[in-house]
Amino acid sequence: MINVKGTLAVLTGGGDCPGLNAVLNAVVKAALGHGYQIYGIENGFNGLIKNRMKLLTYDDVSGILPRGGTVLGTTNRDNPFKFAHVEPDGSVTYTDESETIVKNLSKRGIETLIVIGGDGSLAIGAQLSRDCGVKVIGVPKTIDNDLPCTERTFGFDTAMAVATEAVDRLHSTAESHHRIMILEVMGRYAGWIALHSGVAGGADVILIPEIPYHLDAVAKKILKRQQEGKMFSIVVVAEGAKPEGGEMTVARIVKDSFEPIRLGGVGNKLAQQLEELTGIEARCTVLGYLQRGGSPTAFDRVLCTRYGVAAIEACIAGNYDVMVSLHNDSIVTVPLQDAGRKPRSVTVDNEIVKAARDIGICFGDEA
């Protein structure tokens, strides 16, 4: 009979993201290699509440490293501390199912829960640790790159690469038709994707949430290019960008979600405004979920593998209630409670912002 050192469980929560399967691949292989057995939980915290989990083997993760999405499934709606139930009459009631989770973990002898997720999932993991005594280890995931306590979240590099390719492709059509081409990218309240892809793709204007823009300044930049004989312009705008004194553009509200406010629409609004101001035809491309899907980049695959192995190493060391983190190109652990702090935003004096300004990229904050 095989001597099992312990029993672990892993879930993927929140939005999908390139690299989730790469982390699962590393977590499962490292756990099994060190003599642990590990359960995979289906559909995030929903699976913990409904007791939907299975023991994972090497075969379950074979070949998944380069695949996008997550083989376990995920959801960004199920908060166990406020779990929604739809009644027969269509009304919604809420219950605290945290004790159900504790019981389901106990039934399987699960000693440690590995939560792969963004701020919402990690905040739930931190609360399970704090209020229910569950041993939790977090792995930072989001294409937005806005989690505190780590220099890089997995998924960001892939999303940035996809956005950069889109900027490259927009250049040719913009130049052919002498248009303003606007690319709207994701990022929530942080401008990391827009900043990196805009610089990498040679955008003329980059608009991010951290630097409110003046429409006149953007139009002035575009008209100046036209006067210099450059008959097209490329604008990369983060979904959370907003004009000075204005508000972010909200696409819709999703009740019962970790993130109820869904941003979107700023690109199309900007296209109409700039066309009216400059007289130059403007078009908007909303990249949307293309940034979240597909195979992760080589950088993300390596980072995911390092994170997954580090999560198991933390288990072996008895280092619980932590999040694995990238710091000075080394993987370290930080308190899980800190992962829910204020999001990490682009600072106005960021070195990449400074470099972009020096090569003439406009951020819309100069009249």
In what helix (H) or strand (E) does residue 263 lie, and over which residues does it extend? strand 261-263
Please report the pLDDT score of residue 2 as a whole number: 58
- Measured from the Cβ of residue 210, the count of other Cβ atoms closer than 10 Å reads 19
* Residues in contact with 2: Cβ distance below 8 Å, sequence separation at least 6, in sequence order: none
Positions in the chain whose pLDDT score sits under 70: 1-2, 256-258, 367
State pLDDT tens for residues 281-319: 999 999 999 999 899 999 999 999 999 999 999 999 999
Name residue 276's amino acid.
Answer: E
For the chain, how are helix, strand and coil distributed in percent, rounded to 5? 40, 20, 40
Rg (CA), the chain: 22
pLDDT at 136 (0 to 100) = 98
pLDDT per position as a tens digit, 102-117:
999 999 999 999 999 9
* Contact predicate 148/43, CB 8 Å: no
Angstrom distance (rounded) from CA 42 to CA 51: 9
Strands 83-86 vs 92-95: parallel, antiparallel or unpaired: antiparallel
The structure tokens listed for 72 are: 């376990």
pLDDT of residue 257: 64
Q: Which of 144, 146, 300, 321 is catalytic?
A: 144
Determine whether 144 is an active site residue. yes
pLDDT at 342 (0 to 100): 83
| Cα–Cα dist 223/216, whole Å | 10
Distance CA 161, CA 158 (A): 5
The contacts of residue 245 (CB under 8 Å, 6+ apart) are 212
Contact (Cβ atoms closer than 8 angstroms) between residue 24 and residue 11: no
pTM over 0.85: yes
